[in-house]
Amino acid sequence: MSSASAIPAGLRARRSVADLQWLSVAVILLFLGATFLAPLFEVLALSLTDADGTFSLAQFRELADSSSLRPVLLQTTITALEVTLACIVIGYPAAIYLSRLEGWKASLTSVAILFPFLTSSLVRTFVFIVLLGRNGVLNNALVWLGVPGAPFKLLFNQTGVVIGMTYVLLPYMLLSLIGTMRKIDGTLLDAARSMGASRARVFWTVYLPLSLPGVAAGAIITTILGFGYFVTPALMGGPGEKMIAQMVEQRIVTLYDLPGAAAISVVMLTIVLMAYAAAARWLGLSRLMRPQG
Amino acid sequence: MTMTSEAATRVSNSASVHLEAISKSIGGTRILAGVDLDVNAGEFVTLLGPSGSGKTSTLMAIAGFVTPDSGRITVRGRDVTVLPPGRERDMGIVFQNYALFPHMTVAENVAYPLKVRRLPRREIETRVADVLKLVQLDALADRKPARLSGGQQQRVALARALVFEPSVLLMDEPMGALDVRLKEELQLELRRLQKEIGATVIYVTHDQNEAMLMSDRVALMRDGQIEQYGPGQELYRHPRSLFAARFLGDSNLLKGMVRDGWLDVGGLRIALPTGTLAATGERQAALLRPETLTVREGATGALMSEDGACLYGTVRDAAFVGQAMRYEIDVPGLPEPLLVHQVACAAHAQLAIGMPAQITWDRDDIHLIALGDQDE
């Protein structure tokens, strides 16, 4: 008889655990809804109204007609892709090295990679202005070394934007690459070597293919983040290389055209979501996130 | 699951391997302390030992992944001690975790060493198909390794190591991750296949049964050295040390001193095997394998027999383990109970715990191990 009464008690206990889990999920959903989804719908609603507050597609029609959006979109896309490419080129070899570290060295590099995130991106960008300016540290060094053509114009143009954004976004690429590379089984490389493959061949046929998921994941993150970046282009870019986030800011602050800004934001969000969906489809993002093996 | 002989190709390439005083220290620890080993062409040799005995390090030294601090490794008479792993070293390796390339299909995995050698595409296809037939995986050629069972993965690894007809095949505990049934099946299969193609195989395991089942010769390793090297039966029947006696199979070791043609074990007289030349005063241990002992109900109070091939005691534990009864018999005068494995059949009456027991054996089943100074 005692066991008969124990069963409902056990069930009740399990039930209350389940309730608790639902509660915690509900809290998270509520928080997300209030701080993220609600404003997002607000923006969406704003983009679909005209100056009088009535429903209209005027904002989007205007954007489609306007000659200003397309070059900015193109410029933004190019910048995001350039930054992603730079992150791959710089990040890949660095990640190979960093992924092989062990013990305290590995911990130290993890902290070092994450450290910039503790600093505001505004501060980090100002640091680059000091470094890259006409009389900045880098140019002075180049002049002193007698590099022909120095000092270079590294600020307030596309070069400056790409350098600054690469610096800011590189950690995302590094973390993604290191994570993937650490999971590559070293005996696979040994096996390939024992079968007669040269080091270069081992890299191209085994290491690189197995690290590609990390490259793809890192590229998606840096491209999407780069696409919407504001601070660095605003501070380090020139007047000719406006990015789309700056355009939104201009609409709000200078023109006080909230529906217009909202419409551009919706366009931006749509493009990013489409890019993400395409990446998920073509690169098999769910597969990328799964561990090797 | 049997491997077909029609597809088998003889590895004409198989070579002899010779290790001479191989030593290696890593971080101040001596992991190999002068390993000598001779492996004939076409021979199946197993490196057996507990973990940390240096068996995998020896294999990796042969493979070229560990460069010895001193000593010499020759393959077919050629010095390869410092040659890096690769084409020239020419060794097929089956790694413990198989090391199959997860991004390649079974066929691509097996083709890899052939592509490295830039063989014509036709030949690669034929050879891959042949070797996959040999290990009976031709139906799974287009699968990725992740979609294979452990046994299938192991056979892909084997096919990939065999396909380029290496001079030596090295295998590092390839059965470690498999369940017992599959293991036994694959052990026999591998053994048959090895004989069929005549490959030289150096195999690492810590499983003594596996070692004895598969190998022509077994090298028992301990503390970075080879303790004893010979056919499995020789190691089992005539171990040269207590370590070897204990490592292979169950054992009863009665330590004593030779006195007037008997072994005196704490006052118990044990007859020496016929023809033994052991002088009085020598310290020896008599190895009595549990399966060579016969146990029956004994007379209460009987303590000794005249012929020295019989002991009396009390059943301390009796357990049925399938093919045999496993007894532990307390014998007055012995520090540890005697272990007896007796075939469970009508000829032997089963004894119960607490019963008086008589244990007999044939004196020629005893093997004597000379005790050194450090042996307790």
**Chain B residue with minimum CA distance to A212:** B103
Q: Residue B194: what are its φ and ψ, rounded to 5°?
A: -65, -40
A45, A187 contact by CB (below 8 A): no
Residue A104 lies in a domain: yes
Instruction: Please check whether residues A153 and A188 belong to one and the same domain.
Output: yes
**Chain B residue with minimum CA distance to A210:** B103
pLDDT tens-digit readout, B194-236: 888 888 999 999 999 999 999 999 999 999 999 999 999 999 9
Residue A53 lies in a domain: no
Q: What are the Cα distances from residue B130, in Å, to A65, B55, B70, B115, B150?
A: 66, 32, 41, 16, 21
DSSP conformation class of B308: S
Residue A42 lies in a domain: yes
Residue A60 lies in a domain: no
* Residue A2 pLDDT exceeds 50: no
Instruction: Please check whether residues A190 and A243 belong to one and the same domain.
Output: yes
B31, B47 contact by CB (below 8 A): no
B108 to chain A, minimum CA–CA distance in Å? 11
Instruction: Please check whether residues A100 and A134 belong to one and the same domain.
Output: yes
pLDDT, position A152? 85
DSSP conformation class of B125: H
Residue A210 forms contact with B (CB below 8 Å):
yes
Give the H or E element holding residue B37. strand B29-39
Give the one of A188, A194, A196 whose C-beta lies nearest to B117's C-beta: A196
Residue A7 lies in a domain: yes
Instruction: Please check whether residues A118 and A40 belong to one and the same domain.
Output: no
* Residue B1 pLDDT exceeds 60: no
Q: What are the Cα distances from residue B361, in Å, to A165, A171, B251, B365?
A: 85, 74, 14, 7
Q: What is the mean pLDDT of residues B124-129?
A: 95
Domain count, chain A: 2
Mean pLDDT highest for which of A10-14, B217-221, B362-366? B217-221
B286, B270 contact by CB (below 8 A): yes
Q: What are the Cα distances from residue A86, in Å, to A63, A94, A136?
A: 31, 12, 22
Instruction: Please check whether residues A90 and A143 belong to one and the same domain.
Output: yes
Residue A92 lies in a domain: yes
Mean pLDDT highest for which of A84-98, A147-161, B192-206? A84-98
pLDDT, position A8? 59
Answer whether A196 sits within 8 Å of B116, measured CB to CB: yes
Contacts of A267 by beta carbon, 8 Å cutoff, 6+ apart: A60, A63, A69, A73
Instruction: Please check whether residues A147 and A95 belong to one and the same domain.
Output: yes
Instruction: Please check whether residues A113 and A214 belong to one and the same domain.
Output: yes
For residue B279, the one-letter residue type is A
Answer whether A293 sits within 8 Å of B93, measured CB to CB: no
**Number of residue pairs across A and B with CB atoms under 8 Å?**
56
List the structure tokens of B28: 């101040």
First to last CA, chain B: 48
The residue count for chain B:
376
Instruction: Please check whether residues A73 and A3 belong to one and the same domain.
Output: no
Q: Residue B2: what are its φ and ψ, rounded to 5°?
A: -75, 145
Answer whether A197 sits within 8 Å of B112, measured CB to CB: yes
Answer whether B63 sits within 8 Å of A205, measured CB to CB: no
* CB-count exposure of residue B257 (10 Å: 0-12, 13-18, 19+): middle
Residue B247 forms contact with A (CB below 8 Å):
no
Q: How confident is the model at residue B109 (pLDDT cuts 50, 70, 90)?
A: very high
Q: Which residues of A touch B113 (CB under 8 A)?
A: 195-196
Residue A208 forms contact with B (CB below 8 Å):
no
Residue A109 lies in a domain: yes
Domain encompassing residue A112: 66-288
Residue among B220, B142, B231, B135 nearest B174 (CA): B135
Answer whether A196 sits within 8 Å of B86, measured CB to CB: yes
Residue among B326, B327, B325, B329 nearest B313 (CA): B329
In angstroms, the CA A147 to CA A166 distance is: 24
pLDDT, position B267? 84
Instruction: Please check whether residues A97 and A2 belong to one and the same domain.
Output: no
Q: Residue B249: what are its φ and ψ, rounded to 5°?
A: 75, 180
In angstroms, the CA B294 to CA B341 distance is: 8
DSSP assignment of A164-208, as one string? HHHHHHHHHHHHHHHHHHHHS-HHHHHHHHHTT--HHHHIIIIIH
Residue A290 forms contact with B (CB below 8 Å):
no
Answer whether B101 sits within 8 Å of A206, measured CB to CB: yes
Residue among B141, B130, B138 nearest B165 (CA): B130
Instruction: Please check whether residues A123 and A214 belong to one and the same domain.
Output: yes
Find the angle CA(B367)-CA(B372)-CA(B376) to the nearest 5 degrees: 90
Residue A293 lies in a domain: no
Q: What is the CATH number of the domain that holds A154?
A: 1.10.3720.10
Instruction: Please check whether residues A109 and A222 belong to one and the same domain.
Output: yes
Instruction: Please check whether residues A19 and A135 belong to one and the same domain.
Output: no
Residue A194 forms contact with B (CB below 8 Å):
yes
Looking at chain B, the whole-number percentage of residues with pLDDT higher than 90 is: 65
Mean pLDDT highest for which of A95-99, A164-168, B293-297? A95-99
Find the angle CA(A23)-CA(A24)-CA(A29) to the nearest 5 degrees: 95
Global pTM value: 0.81
Q: What is the ipTM of this complex?
A: 0.81
Sheet architecture: strand order including B262-265:
B268-271, B262-265, B252-259, B283-288, B367-370
